[in-house]
Amino acid sequence: MFRNIKGQAGVLQILATALDHDRVAQAYLFHGIDGVGKFTTALYFGMALNCLAKSEFRPCGVCTSCRKFLALDHPDLIYIFPSSKLELSEEGEIKKSEQRQEYDAFIRNKIETPWVDYLFSSKVMIRRESIDWMIRRLNLSIYEANYRICIIENAELMNQESSNAFLRTLEESSVSTVIILLTERLSQLLPTIVSRCQPIYFHPVAPPVISDILVQKFNASPESARTASHIANGSVKRAIRLAQSDSSQLRDLAFQIFQMAAGDKELAFFASLRSPALKLTAEMVIELIKYVSLFVGDLNLVQAAPEQVVNIDKREYLLEQRKALPAAQAENCADQALNFTLAMEDLARKVYGNVNLQLVMLNLYLQLSKIFRG
């Protein structure tokens, strides 16, 4: 099943060596951006350590142990994640039905659609009550596995109290227990926790790998897969959401803006900004900036390296526009594309700084016009 994890060959080699030589660390720290396979790898590693199959292809995914892990229901799997206050009993039962429903809904979402972020009804963190429950579980005997597996997701969201309690547990953990922390923000963990774990870095996944995943597993079209894979910044999770959401509408809007700039239709662009139907959020403007930047990059590549064009369904139009560029603009197209990218990075930072979004869109259009008319 490890073959289902794409784009992390170095990580898988480290873990395979640990399995082959029976040199498993007591605590691992999987770190990297969201959506690159940290949780799946942690789960499969726990499955491999406890798989009942005799063959070398562990985890098998079909034995009783593996099936329990996949259902997040193995008695020797402890899964901690940020949540609203659960009010746990001594036995780890959630006292209130509303919180129990939220907890169950999160687990279902994690199993069925893990690329979708589940939203709890109140502020989430890893509270002391969850760590105390974990400690009580660790003090019990193992039920049926070779190794007890403890996965702590978004470990940076432990508060000070829970971090200190966890640190003491980490120092005293059993040799038959493997603790795996997952984080996107390594710097927010206590240095004493980091120093007691074996860190393993998960690289952003390459766009061609993401594109293949979208086409083969999510039936995305080659065009949307290729575009989403470049927009996603190395996150498979984000790429899946882009391919499945209304991001195609944002891409269409970005292409319309590109066409208006190419056709010198300034008044049409200003009119579109005033349209009541155009209700842009900061996140949407960030995505628009990325889509427009891809079109500009493709304009630069479409003649010299057409095989590298991301928006392959727009290749003929882009080629026409490239051939129609004035001589001075065509000669400096690469420099123009680079300058545009730098300008868009600056605009994106301003969006995060709560600058007026209409001003950002005006700046985007003006920078785009320079590509075609200097």
Q: Do 59 and 70 form a contact (C-beta atoms < 8 A)?
A: no
Q: What pTM was estimated for this model as a whole?
A: 0.79
Residue bearing tokens 């000070």: 160
Determine the longest span between alpha carbons in the chain, in angstroms. Answer: 77
Q: Do 83 and 107 form a contact (C-beta atoms < 8 A)?
A: no
In CATH, the architecture of 2-82+125-201 is 3-Layer(aba) Sandwich (3.40)
Domain range summary for the chain, segments of one domain joined by +: 2-82+125-201, 246-373
CA 204 to chain CA centroid, Å, is 9
Domain 246-373, CATH 1.10.10 — does that match?
A: no
Rounded to whole angstroms, what are the CA distances from 329 to 123, 261, 345, 364, 366? 52, 14, 22, 18, 15
Q: Each residue's pLDDT tens digit in the chain (374 positions)?
A: 788 999 999 999 999 999 989 899 999 999 999 999 999 999 999 999 999 987 677 899 999 999 999 999 999 999 999 998 888 887 778 888 888 999 999 999 999 999 988 888 888 999 999 999 999 999 899 999 999 999 999 999 999 999 999 998 888 878 899 999 999 999 999 999 999 999 999 999 999 999 999 999 999 888 888 888 988 889 999 899 888 765 678 888 999 999 999 999 999 999 988 887 778 888 889 989 989 999 999 999 999 898 888 888 899 999 999 999 988 888 888 898 999 999 999 998 888 887 889 899 999 999 999 999 87
Same fold across 2-82+125-201 and 246-373? no
